[in-house]
Structure 1
Amino acid sequence: MIALDQLSKTYTQKDGTQVKAVDAVSLKVAEGEICVFLGPSGCGKTTTLKMINRLINPTSGRVLLNGQDTSGIDEVELRRHIGYVIQQIGLFPNMTIEENITIVPRLLGWDKKRCQERATELMAMVALDPKKFLKRYPRELSGGQQQRIGVIRALAADAPVLLMDEPFGAVDPINRESIQNEFFQMQRQLNKTVIMVSHDIDEAIKLGDKVAVFRAGKLVQFDNPDTLLARPKDDFVSAFVGQDHTLKRLLLVRAGEAATTPPTAHPDVSCDQALALMDDQDSRYLTIIDADNRALGYLTRRDVRGSTGVAEDKVRPFTMNADPDENLRVVLSKMYKHSTSWMPVIANDGSYVGEVTQDSIASYLSSGKSRGMAMAA
């Protein structure tokens, strides 16, 4: 969808010396992906972003949108079809929220009814009551609410591309996390191609399908978040992502993805058979499921050792479990809270997905493997 080809920007200072703000950056962002530009202040990430919609014209190189060189597209037409969100929001104070949201659709000739329907639809996506807020003015909204409006205004004309320059940076931590979550859910529904500037590594790995790390105008590393954390390219990237980069990877892996599938048994398993299964796996427990793969509970060695008959009456109910969509940081936190080394992964319908253990999490983190490698394999 978007390709940067040797994109560069050089500025000439008053003394005649030239400074390369962006130095031959090349990368590709596929349709529907979120790419986060990451790096310290002055590294060239915002300049690169602005060259995509030609708020800044490149000194050399190309920006390709669906294979078309954007230098051949009228600037105004280009910007009407690329949503743009900035940290300062930039809502028009003399316009209602509805007028702010629909400003680009109205420029594109949408009728009033279509504009109203689009504004109502987008307000619902960010959990703001259209009946309550659309006729208000920006000054009547909190900072977090204004930031939500800034995001959905960029989506109003249904542009396929969205550029975001530190869109959540000015919001307090509680609202920022809420808006990030809402944006992520919107992206799942709308499937936009998004390029976002950030200085926050946690935000980058939470939202990004790809992360581009910049330093002094150059693109240092361009990878999926897990690969970036597992194998930083150099000392600069390693320092930037933080000394806890290994633990940050816990945020990227869902319990359902990391679950292993040890042997299970049905309630009519004999005590001797149950003990033999645990012996074979050198395990202290055995998960019991019914004929429809619903998790019923588990047995321990102590439950069945020296017992006769079937194990059905000895099954212990699970007092806690992991949801397949929970990330491993949440799962590991639950394990520590309840002083356990393992946890079953159970779907909302009660079906058994597998289990996650402290050992399996540690093995994954120490292996240096990434999700990208796993999916490729």
Structure 2
Amino acid sequence: MIELDSLTKQFRQKQGLTTAVDHVNMTVKSGEMCVFLGPSGCGKTTTLKMINRLIEPTSGRILIDGNDTRGIDKVELRRSLGYVIQQVGLFPNMTIKDNIMVVPKLLGWDKKRMHERACELMSMVALEPSRYLSRYPNELSGGQQQRIGVIRALAADPPLLLMDEPFGAIDPINRSAIQDEFLMMQRQLRKTVIMVSHDIDEALKLADKIAMFRDGRLVQFSTPDELLARPADEFVATFTGGDSTLKRLLLVAAGDAVSEPISVSRSTLIADVRRLMDDHERRHIVIVDEHGKAQGQVRRQDIKGVLEDRPVGDYRQPLAVTSQWDDNLRVLLSRMYEYNIDWVPVQDENERFIGEISQDSIIALLSTQR
């Protein structure tokens, strides 16, 4: 857990004192990811750098797991924290393995432990250790270098990870992929993370909490959904954009919003299928195999006039598209428009059918401000 207690930073300039950060108070719980969000020059990076004492605060306290950072040697503090910057900062004359193991080597880890840790981290970002550990930074793409920058910060298993716009210089496709990989790592490792960003979509995608800054002040500290649904003032509402309701779709996973899974097997008789459709007011039913995996669908129009003792499998139609349980609702809605359909079946991690999402159910969810 990290606590910022009345954190203030003033800089002396020719015209006098300038307050860059003004009495910031917040608490980020262990395992949470907090994104510092706001326009350029609002105090985000200054606040981040005060945490590892690259910038010394003028007043206030920073507590990491209850320990005041003022009582910790600066070098020891920085070795104990992970730090990722936009420019990556890999050492060009060192191999990827040596780059990753900079801090563990300073901490006295043995070679076997360092090699195993490097391989473990490389696998987390989908880079084959045998192919990449012996290479040098200039032999990697920008996106690959950024992946190395992230896992280097995790090498010594720090309790707190600080990230200063780590994905800002990456092209949109690689940026999205690296964000996804980082999210998967975070779900597994549950690190406490503080990240600086000016991208509202990135903050909504990654954050458990968002700290909104303006002119050195903390304007709002809340969950992403609260930020969109109840902005603290006009500045926050403007920064999040006029489509805040649609942005909230990013925050809901398909698996958390599915309807009851109504399905039949291929051998189910038409009479029973019609009864299910009537009971649940459905125009379609998903057909699953013996493992519960969606194999297709049958619509009312497909069985119109068909004898009731016929198996429904003979009238199965393909599914236009399926969705995974962890896809967000904005992805699903986009998919519906792309394929000109009004519902999508949802699968769990084992590809079993767990329910469906419709355009109507998305509208209903938003209207309830869930």
Q: Which amino acid aligns with 1:354?
A: G
Q: CA deviation at 1:52?
A: 0.8
1:6 counterpart residue number: 6
The normalised TM-score by structure 1 is 0.88
Q: CA deviation at 1:214?
A: 0.6
Matched, 1:15 2:10: no
Q: Does the residue aligned with 1:353 lie in a helix, a strand or coil? A: strand
Provide closer, same or farther for how the CA distance between residues 89 and 307 of structure 1 changes in structure 2, counting only shifts above 3 A: closer
Matched, 1:123 2:122: yes
1:64 counterpart residue number: 63
CA distance in 2, matches of 1:93, 1:293: 52
1:372 counterpart residue number: none
Q: Does the residue aligned with 2:323 lie in a helix, a strand or coil? A: coil
Matched, 1:88 2:81: no
Q: CA deviation at 1:287?
A: 4.0
Provide closer, same or farther for how the CA distance between residues 190 and 353 of structure 1 changes in structure 2, counting only shifts above 3 A: same
Q: CA deviation at 1:274?
A: 4.4
1:300 counterpart residue number: 299
Q: CA deviation at 1:140?
A: 3.1
Is the Cα–Cα contact under 8 Å of residues 270 and 311 in structure 2 kept in the other structure?
Answer: no
Provide closer, same or farther for how the CA distance between residues 44 and 284 of structure 1 changes in structure 2, counting only shifts above 3 A: same
Q: Does the residue aligned with 1:47 lie in a helix, a strand or coil? A: helix
CA distance in 2, matches of 1:265, 1:133: 48
Q: CA deviation at 1:212?
A: 1.0
Matched, 1:139 2:147: no
The normalised TM-score by structure 2 is 0.90
Provide closer, same or farther for how the CA distance between residues 228 and 310 of structure 1 changes in structure 2, counting only shifts above 3 A: farther
Give per-residue Cα distances to partners, 1:143-189, cap 9 Å, x unaligned. Answer: 22222222121111111111011111122222222222222222222
CA distance in 1, matches of 2:148, 2:290: 50
Q: Does the residue aligned with 1:22 lie in a helix, a strand or coil? A: strand
Q: Please, which runs of 5 or more residues in structure 1 have no aligned partner?
A: 370-377
Q: CA deviation at 1:249?
A: 2.1
Q: Which amino acid aligns with 1:76?
A: V
Q: Which amino acid aligns with 2:154?
A: L
Q: CA deviation at 1:22?
A: 1.0
Q: CA deviation at 1:42?
A: 0.7
1:198 counterpart residue number: 197
Is the Cα–Cα contact under 8 Å of residues 9 and 58 in structure 1 kept in the other structure?
Answer: yes
Farther-moved stretch of structure 1 (269-278 vs 2-11): 269-278
Give per-residue Cα distances to partners, 1:265-285, cap 9 Å, x unaligned. Answer: 666766566445434544323
Is the Cα–Cα contact under 8 Å of residues 147 and 168 in structure 1 kept in the other structure?
Answer: yes
2:367 counterpart residue number: 366
1:234-245 alignment to 2 at 5 Å? 234-245=233-244
2:74 counterpart residue number: 75
CA distance in 1, matches of 2:58, 2:110: 40
CA distance in 2, matches of 1:120, 1:290: 39
Moved over 6 A (4+): 266-270
Q: Does the residue aligned with 2:324 lie in a helix, a strand or coil? A: coil
Is the Cα–Cα contact under 8 Å of residues 21 and 216 in structure 1 kept in the other structure?
Answer: yes
Q: Does the residue aligned with 2:212 lie in a helix, a strand or coil? A: strand
Q: CA deviation at 1:77?
A: 1.2
Q: Does the residue aligned with 2:335 lie in a helix, a strand or coil? A: helix
2:348 counterpart residue number: 347
Superposition CA RMSD, Å = 2.5
Q: CA deviation at 1:315?
A: 4.8
Give per-residue Cα distances to partners, 1:65-119, cap 9 Å, x unaligned. Answer: 1112111112111111101111122222333322222111111111222222222
CA distance in 2, matches of 1:119, 1:134: 8
Q: Please, which runs of 5 or more residues in structure 2 have no aligned partner?
A: none
Give per-residue Cα distances to partners, 1:123-155, cap 9 Å, x unaligned. Answer: 222233333333333333332222222212111
Provide closer, same or farther for how the CA distance between residues 331 and 271 of structure 1 changes in structure 2, counting only shifts above 3 A: same
Matched, 1:335 2:336: yes
Give per-residue Cα distances to partners, 1:296-329, cap 9 Å, x unaligned. Answer: 5544334555655346336534423222222222
Is the Cα–Cα contact under 8 Å of residues 33 and 206 in structure 2 kept in the other structure?
Answer: yes
Q: Does the residue aligned with 1:243 lie in a helix, a strand or coil? A: coil
Is the Cα–Cα contact under 8 Å of residues 343 and 356 in structure 1 kept in the other structure?
Answer: yes
Provide closer, same or farther for how the CA distance between residues 311 and 328 of structure 1 changes in structure 2, counting only shifts above 3 A: farther
Q: CA deviation at 1:361?
A: 0.7
CA distance in 2, matches of 1:323, 1:192: 25
CA distance in 2, matches of 1:263, 1:173: 38
Provide closer, same or farther for how the CA distance between residues 150 and 336 of structure 1 changes in structure 2, counting only shifts above 3 A: same
- Percent identity over paired residues: 60
Provide closer, same or farther for how the CA distance between residues 124 and 265 of structure 1 changes in structure 2, counting only shifts above 3 A: closer
CA distance in 1, matches of 2:55, 2:141: 31
Provide closer, same or farther for how the CA distance between residues 332 and 197 of structure 1 changes in structure 2, counting only shifts above 3 A: same
